[in-house]
Structure 1
Amino acid sequence: MKWLIGVLLISGVSASTLQFAAVPRSIVLPQESSNLRTSDISTLNELLLGVSTKQVSSFLVKTQLFSPTKAVAVVQIQDIDILDIKGNKYSLDVDGYDFGALDSSLSVAFGADREYVTVNKDGASGSQLSAAISSASVDDSLVKTKSEPLRSELLQVYKLVAGLKAQGAKLTQSNSPDVFQVTISGLIKLVDSDERNQAILEIQKAVNTLSQAIVEAYGDQAVVEVVCDSSPIQIKNTAQAHRIVKRAADETGKSPVQVERERYNVTEFTGSDYPAMFAIFLGLGIILSVAVLYIAVGIWNMDPGRDSIIYRMTTTRMKKD
């Protein structure tokens, strides 16, 4: 199947926070004093999934080429500054977030043979895995809140957990990454402080349960991000065509070679070790080719006398009377 990419996303306008509920050991995150813009989250996730090597200048992350991330889950939690969960926490500058950019990059790299699932209060939609999530059954008693919008969203999260557990080891059999986007907006209509505090505790429980399920499904190869914001912003979900137009508009001032590389989608290496690997294989290929040519030329110019290997191998022994 695809590589699952587990990212939990919460976006807002005033106070925003990016939290990593799960990170593979192969990924080294920067210090928590680092800042990140919401518009850079897509670029960051492309790097974490191995689709691109482009770094966010203010948020430098170390990854390993031979330990790829197989899943990213994005949970958007609105009307909250921060969620009390374990993991690295970073402040966010909100300037818009385009989740469709990540989907466009994965479409170019892996085509349609991958998992992409969106989960909200209306249910699960997207790739083939969404059908298993929609048909999953969960115990309604897992959610205690009386707020119907939030209750519906949390039940869908638990359905996602059940769907992941039902798939089991199948999720790790593909070389393409899986992406999950989860939206939780039920806190917006909660005004009563006691009810709101209880709802936040239930969201924490649901997020931790989802994070654990993703880690179990993909092993140490999944990323779970949580983005929180007290003033939600609209998340774009642009199509792949939008991204292509944007590339064409930015061609001014670029060299012809750079324009052609972008046109054929080779503007960036998919791993930082690829240039060294290419040089090794290219050098080895040249050396072997020269060696074969040298041997061929040597045999061609060899004197086919009685004491040569050519004479012994090509001349048949004459019959004697």
Structure 2
Amino acid sequence: MLSIIATYFLALLVYVHGAGEISILQTPDSLVFSGQEQLDLSIVKNVLSAALGFTVPEGPRWSGMVVTDPFHFADAVVVVSVPGVRSLDSIQGRTYPLSTDESLQDTWRSLSWRLIDRFPTATNLTLNYLSLDQLTEAEELYGKLGSRDTPTVEYLKPSLPEDKAFIEQVNLMDAITAKLADKGVVNDGVPDAHWFTAPGLHSLIDTYGGQSKQVNEAKRLFSSSILLLSEVFNTAYNDKVLFAVISSDVVHTRRFKRDAEPKEPTLDNEGDEEDPNYPVIFNIFLWFGIAYFMVLLATSLGIARMDPGRDSIIYRMTSNRMKKDN
């Protein structure tokens, strides 16, 4: 009976929280990633926001990222999300285990809303969300893309629908990489966010199994394309980009109420509450407090070192009182 209860409880935990990982491929010099502490997917938006220099809401702290230079932050964050996949296995960079307690779409929505909330009047704000199975949308975001040769594969079969769809997504990512390497990006001082979603690997896992030769080959192929994309983005933003890869098997372990295509965030959308005037108000109180403390300290030291002398009113009053008492 106890074993049945334990099994049920474990299954319930797996249902509520999926597993995944986040890998950091590129970082600016002002950010240092270390350790192997697990983090929740719901905290990733705070990590990305902090990398851009934003004030994040109070909540659980993650010690994996340290800001070494508070005056220089990332100019952009780039994320490649892989839904339905626990791990890419062969991806490079520093990797952390992830507890997927929210959907990847929710993380993107929160991040994009914070950028809109921080720069409500900016006309040059770049918020690019792209599913790699959408060629038309990709060209709307990054311009006309050239065709790419089909990569050499051993186990994947381009004649099969699932295999073909995945290979086309890899080709689209490579085409974007080539476009960015040729044209670069507009680095205008306003932070940018690029979010790519790759649904094709999930379909391969459902078709062949997570440990199949086809899936292992697909992971290696996809990881190589991601690495090239990260290097191009890093060059385009002058080594001031945070590039992360997030894989989450939450699709297999939990069904979210909001699993539709994420909407483009607008000012009317509900987002995380964050007062844009907070840094100004904080600095006013901070410097007022410092000035008040210095004045109080100077006054206290002056009183402590004061020597009234025999001709001062304090001395005469004290002397007369002493004569009366005698």
Name the TM-score, length of structure 2 as normaliser: 0.66
**Does the aligned pair in 1 maintain the 2:25–2:243 contact within 8 Å?**
yes
2:190 paired with 1:176: yes
1: CA distance, partners of 2:284 / 2:203: 54
**Which of 71, 77, 86 in structure 2 is aligned with 1:81?**
86
2: CA distance, partners of 1:178 / 1:165: 17
2:30 paired with 1:26: yes
Deviation at 1:123, TM superposition (A): 2.7
**Which of 101, 104, 110 in structure 1 is aligned with 2:110?**
101
Deviations 1:38-89 (A, max 9, x none): 1121122111111225576331332223212011111111332222222221
**Which of 122, 128, 141 in structure 1 is aligned with 2:134?**
122
**Corresponding residue SS for 1:165:** helix
**Does the aligned pair in 2 maintain the 1:44–1:56 contact within 8 Å?**
no
C-alpha change, 1:132 and 1:101, in structure 2 (3 Å) is closer
**Which of 237, 249, 252 in structure 2 is aligned with 1:218?**
237
Deviation at 1:27, TM superposition (A): 0.4
**Corresponding residue SS for 2:115:** helix
2: CA distance, partners of 1:195 / 1:134: 32
Deviation at 1:196, TM superposition (A): 1.7
C-alpha change, 1:137 and 1:236, in structure 2 (3 Å) is closer
2: CA distance, partners of 1:201 / 1:53: 35
Amino acid at match of 1:186: G
**Which of 153, 160, 163 in structure 1 is aligned with 2:179?**
163
**Does the aligned pair in 2 maintain the 1:124–1:133 contact within 8 Å?**
no
Deviations 1:283-305 (A, max 9, x none): 7xxxxxxxxxxxxxxxxxxxxxx
C-alpha change, 1:133 and 1:162, in structure 2 (3 Å) is farther
Q: Which moves more between the two structures, 80-89 or 134-143?
A: 134-143
Deviation at 1:14, TM superposition (A): 3.1
User: Which structure 2 residues correspond to residues 260-275 of structure 1 after superposition, within 5 A?
Assistant: 265-268=276-279, 275=283
**Which of 37, 50, 53 in structure 1 is aligned with 2:53?**
50
Matched length: 246
Deviation at 1:15, TM superposition (A): 2.3
1: CA distance, partners of 2:201 / 2:234: 26
**Corresponding residue SS for 1:182:** strand
2:72 paired with 1:67: yes
Q: Which moves more between the two structures, 97-106 or 115-124?
A: 115-124
Amino acid at match of 1:48: A
C-alpha change, 1:38 and 1:275, in structure 2 (3 Å) is same
C-alpha change, 1:70 and 1:154, in structure 2 (3 Å) is same
Q: Over alpha carbons, which structure has the higher Rg?
A: 2
**Which of 128, 135, 138 in structure 1 is aligned with 2:144?**
135
Q: Which moves more between the two structures, 59-68 or 138-147?
A: 138-147
2: CA distance, partners of 1:57 / 1:131: 38
Name the TM-score, length of structure 1 as normaliser: 0.67
Deviations 1:99-149 (A, max 9, x none): 1111111112223312121222113648xxx53624121422347452122
1: CA distance, partners of 2:60 / 2:80: 24
Deviation at 1:269, TM superposition (A): 6.6
- Residue of structure 2 in register with 1:188 after alignment: 202
**Corresponding residue SS for 1:199:** helix
Deviations 1:12-33 (A, max 9, x none): 963211111112221022421x
Amino acid at match of 1:171: V
- Residue of structure 2 in register with 1:243 after alignment: 270
**Corresponding residue SS for 2:278:** coil
